[in-house]
Chains A and B, each alone.
Chain A
């Protein structure tokens, strides 16, 4: 039994990671703006735009017919099939959501750099609500995309979107922790990230537990590979210890006293853990076993 090689774990894992950062980062931007926190919004807007661009670069890099993409999508739109597909294909929905988020984050980046006049438009509460909604949907889409692939039972569970949502929220908080210096906000971020780290640990345990006891041989093989097989070393070291437990311990230390270097370490480790998690989940996919 071998792991799936249809989607490149590195390319699709990185795509899912950047989509999560851009998605929940957009929610964070909207919340900061609504609560009138002005610190580092310019930097955050650039991170968001760069993240969505990189997400698109990584996903396009995994296509086997990238040059056909523009005409194929235009052809599908012209025939009305693309619109109908929005109701059944997460990828169709994703293409649309990513395109919208690209435009919205571009507007934010321009508002903070070359075209300040855009602030009339981007600081509007309706724009911010739309940004937060699309950001949340992009994050959820990145989970539903793989959980709606019935060929790979390990992915084919509703726990993936939940895990992705938690993990992407941790990433957004980590980005803010790296950018923001203000103590009161840092404290809020530390507390939130502690709660999310604990939730992520439970979600990872639930994903593996469901796979082990789901009755699908392929899902069991995937879970065993992560727990004690070929992928166990990067899973335990990269995801569990460095990606979740270390930020959790550092978070408790930060609760006692905020420390810039510790906060940076916790944020970087959380970001790395989220990336490794996505790469490993894609890598661990095994196709359903066909038999009589």
Chain B
């Protein structure tokens, strides 16, 4: 089993519902600042590219890489890849060295100053939801149907079907991280 996220850029309307829902579910709608990103406490980061001719936005979050640098560099095994293919954090083993944060080419981790943990997707609530057979919050709330989550090893899953149909890009693939966050850029 390899659980993965898909974000369809061609369908996304940029409403920010996924970002707000992540904040509400995983960080109790906290209004404290995520100082690492200069952003709200959410595991999804919005990057806008102000290209004159063709501006676009990108939603970036943990790519749950198959060859995750954050897992490799972690000195204690606090960052690890689970059997379901997701990269997770074991807080009891984390010393807060932040090596995982400097190792991640996507800048997908931010420092939760309350816990000292390098936070990232997926948060506690979303992990609890998927263990109960539900979707992560960002997928559930998306009004445009631009998100999908599921097992890419299962050819019948919704995400596998979408991957077969669309033109898909993986971010910074040349880094050798084997990311599992798929960006659909068109039909």
User: A residues within 8 Å of B by Cβ?
Assistant: 4-7, 62-66, 68-69, 71-73, 75-76, 79, 81-82, 84-85, 88-92, 94-95, 145-146, 148-152, 155, 285, 287-288, 290-292
Are B72's CB and A64's CB within 8 A? no
Residues of A within 8 A of B58 (CB): 290-292
B107 contact from A7, A62, A65, A287, Cβ within 8 A? A287
| B69: interface (CB < 8 Å) | yes
Give B60-98 interface residues, CB cut-off 8 Å to A: 60, 69, 72-78, 92-98
Give 7 nearest A-B pairs by CB, closest first.
A64-B96, A65-B96, A81-B77, A64-B116, A91-B75, A76-B76, A65-B116
Select from chain B the residue with minimum beta-carbon distance to A153.
B105
Give B8-44 interface residues, CB cut-off 8 Å to A: 9, 35-36
Are B94's CB and A68's CB within 8 A? yes
A274 to B103, CA, bound (A): 24
Select from chain A the residue with minimum beta-carbon distance to B80.
A81
Are A6's CB and B95's CB within 8 A? no
Select from chain B the residue with minimum beta-carbon distance to A59.
B97
Are A290's CB and B111's CB within 8 A? no
A84 to B72, CA, bound (A): 11
Residues of B within 8 A of A290 (CB): 47, 58, 60, 105-107, 171-172
Are A6's CB and B105's CB within 8 A? no
User: B residues within 8 Å of A by Cβ?
Assistant: 9, 35-36, 47, 49, 56, 58, 60, 69, 72-78, 92-99, 101-107, 111, 113, 115-118, 169, 171-172, 175, 177, 183, 185
A82 contact from B76, B98, B106, B117, Cβ within 8 A? B76
Are B93's CB and A149's CB within 8 A? no
Are A150's CB and B69's CB within 8 A? yes
Are B77's CB and A65's CB within 8 A? no
A6 contact from B76, B77, B94, B102, Cβ within 8 A? B102
Select from chain A the residue with minimum beta-carbon distance to B47.
A290
Residues of B within 8 A of A90 (CB): 73
Are A66's CB and B95's CB within 8 A? yes
Select from chain A the residue with minimum beta-carbon distance to B185.
A292
Residues of A within 8 A of B177 (CB): 150
Are B98's CB and A89's CB within 8 A? no
The smallest C-beta distance from B76 to any residue of chain A, in angstroms, reads 4
**Known A148-B103, A149-B103; contact A72-B73, beta-carbon cutoff 8 A:** no
A145 to B101, CA, bound (A): 13
Residues of B within 8 A of A5 (CB): 35-36
The smallest C-beta distance from B92 to any residue of chain A, in angstroms, reads 6
Select from chain B the residue with minimum beta-carbon distance to A285.
B102
Are A292's CB and B169's CB within 8 A? yes
Are B99's CB and A149's CB within 8 A? yes
The smallest C-beta distance from B22 to any residue of chain A, in angstroms, reads 18
Residues of B within 8 A of A285 (CB): 102
Select from chain A the residue with minimum beta-carbon distance to B60.
A290
The smallest C-beta distance from A279 to any residue of chain B, in angstroms, reads 16
A213 to B94, CA, bound (A): 37
Residues of A within 8 A of B115 (CB): 65
Residues of B within 8 A of A148 (CB): 73, 103
A91 to B8, CA, bound (A): 37
Residues of B within 8 A of A155 (CB): 102
A76 to B74, CA, bound (A): 11
A64 to B47, CA, bound (A): 26
Are A89's CB and B69's CB within 8 A? no
Are A72's CB and B183's CB within 8 A? no
Are B103's CB and A150's CB within 8 A? yes
The smallest C-beta distance from B33 to any residue of chain A, in angstroms, reads 13
Select from chain A the residue with minimum beta-carbon distance to B118.
A64
Residues of B within 8 A of A81 (CB): 76-77, 93
Are A7's CB and B175's CB within 8 A? no
**Known A5-B36, A291-B49; contact A152-B78, beta-carbon cutoff 8 A:** no
**Known A79-B77, A148-B73, A290-B172; contact A91-B107, beta-carbon cutoff 8 A:** no
A88 to B74, CA, bound (A): 9
A151 contact from B107, B111, B117, Cβ within 8 A? B107
Residues of A within 8 A of B183 (CB): 292
Residue in A7, A76, A79, A287 whose Cβ sees the most chain B Cβ within 10 Å: A76
Are B77's CB and A151's CB within 8 A? no
